[in-house]
Amino acid sequence: MTPPNNGAAGTAAPARVWKRDNAWSAISPAEREAVAAYARDYMAFLSAAKTEREAFTLAVSQAQARGFVDLDSLRDGAQRLEPGMKVYRGCRGKTLLAAVIGKRGFEHGLHLVGGHTDAPRLDAKPVPLYQDGGVALLDTHYYGGIKKYQWVAMPLALHGVVVRQDGTAVQVCIGEDPADPVFTITDLLPHLGKDQAAKPMSEGINGEGLNVLLGSLPAEPADDDPEVKDKVKLGILRWLEKRYGIEEQDFASAELEVVPAGAARDLGLDRSMILGYAHDDRVCAYAALRALFDLEGTPEHTAVVLLCDKEEIGSVGATGMDSVFLENSVTEMIALTDVKDGNLALRRCLERSRMLSADVNALHDPNYPEVSSPNNMAQINAGVVVAKYTGSRGKSGSSDASAEFMAEIRQVFNAAGVVWQSGELGKVDVGGGGTIALFLARYGMDVVDCGVGLFSMHAPWEVAGKLDAYMAYKGYRAFLAHARR
């Protein structure tokens, strides 16, 4: 009996070692220039989009400039979706879906790249402003997984929106303009820090100690209220009323986020890396959006980019990936075609879709080799990271991509000249993490995690390689344009 041919000798490429190497020397001078130009554009976006609301607003503005039309504006008109049309849809000013309609109908599925634009930060509490020890402070509640000690004794900025009782919204941004003041959270001096230093790092600074220093100048009380005690707090309230027209009760209907102050910067004497706040996950979100913008011609399959909120706290709520925003938006698109049974078409569409879950990954850090699995961890500037699974320990909470889909992504990336590498989050029993992949995989679609590796993930300032960021963009663009057999 003749055995089946499963890639036996004579049918496969010659054996060779697959190396994970720094790829700068493997790209042409022209592509090096493309990397540098892309990095400049991305750094401008990262510096301008410090919150998920700001990222949404900037993304919509860029989409509209490229001819994308609000999908909801088409619902009551006679216009139908045709191949090549560009549409977008938002959810509460935080979550965005943008699409280029493909040649094949929705029943053939989407090519979807999905990331998130929220990031670890400090949120002002509903009653945040108080005075103690002669200073005014902002009481905060941290958002997402942070190391609290990293947020003290550094310049901070305040971003967000305050909605007054009459419904008018006031945009707040203090600490980014060079003329602005900045804020900080004070730390204990080492002369008195013996007990603090003896605590575990997780307990050296606690959540209730993340109070932002706002001011120390007492205000003169009004003639009709001479007994006011919190004069410094009063001075802050007067400043806010004068500049923004808001009063203390307005904090109850506000979303104010404390973030690191300052712009993204080139990192290293060779300028090969980027130091910035919220690479996780705006480095992937921006790459996905640019990939969609830069598609040439009309794709075979409808190309979709989904930028969602709340990933850092479990993808919950109306703007998170665990909502029905994607289902609703795809249903709206199907309704603008000639399909009769929208619900069945939706189910078929989602099940037959392909997705790259665009989220960051960990890099092998030589400062912390004890947590690294060197053969299976990504290295900086060795390409975009494709992770077959994430999860914790025994793959808990992961979406494990199929071997067939991994092979398809390999083929797409290799054909397009995308520099890529595989990656995991470190040693199996050390920890782990998850992405939005599992929320999409439940529809039956093929999903794999694919994003940029970082140093110092979830720190106020994270590190990304410029080549890796560019290769994420290049890989997403190739995937969105890919025509399945």
List, in order, residues 6 or more apart from 224 with CB less than 8 Å away.
none
* Cβ 460 vs Cβ 258: under 8 Å: no
The Cα–Cα gap between 247 and 324 comes to 36
* CATH number of the domain where residue 133 is located: 2.30.250.10
Domain assignment of residue 230, yes or no: yes
| pLDDT value for 10 | 47
The residue range of the domain holding 132 is 122-260
Are 96 and 233 within one domain?
A: no
Average of per-residue pLDDT across 214-231:
83
Are 293 and 240 within one domain?
A: no
Average of per-residue pLDDT across 435-464:
96
Are 231 and 345 within one domain?
A: no
Counted residue by residue, the chain has a size of 485
| pLDDT value for 63 | 98
Residue type, 483: A
Q: Give the start-end residues of each E strand in 216-264.
A: 254-260
| pLDDT value for 133 | 95
pTM of the model: 0.94
Average of per-residue pLDDT across 464-481:
98
SS3 234: helix
DSSP per-residue codes, 287-342: HHHHHHHT--S--SSEEEEEEEB-GGGTS-STTBTTSSHHHHHHHHHHHTTT-S-H
Are 131 and 230 within one domain?
A: yes
pLDDT tens sequence across 455-472:
999 999 999 999 999 999
pLDDT tens sequence across 263-300:
999 999 999 999 999 999 999 999 999 999 999 999 99
Asked if pLDDT for residue 90 goes beyond 90, the answer is yes
Query: Above pLDDT 70, what percent of the chain?
Result: 96
CB neighbours (10 Å) of residue 466?
26
Asked if pLDDT for residue 73 goes beyond 70, the answer is yes
pLDDT tens sequence across 141-175:
999 999 999 999 999 999 999 999 999 999 999 99
Average of per-residue pLDDT across 27-34:
97
Q: In whole numbers, what is the pLDDT of the chain averaged over residues?
A: 93
Query: Above pLDDT 90, what percent of the chain?
Result: 86
SS3 54: helix
Are 352 and 462 within one domain?
A: yes
Average of per-residue pLDDT across 317-335:
96
Average of per-residue pLDDT across 245-270:
97
Domain assignment of residue 5, yes or no: no
Residue type, 309: D
What's the domain count of the chain?
2
Are 58 and 73 within one domain?
A: yes
pLDDT tens sequence across 2-13:
334 444 444 556
∠ CA 434-436-442, rounded to 5°:
110
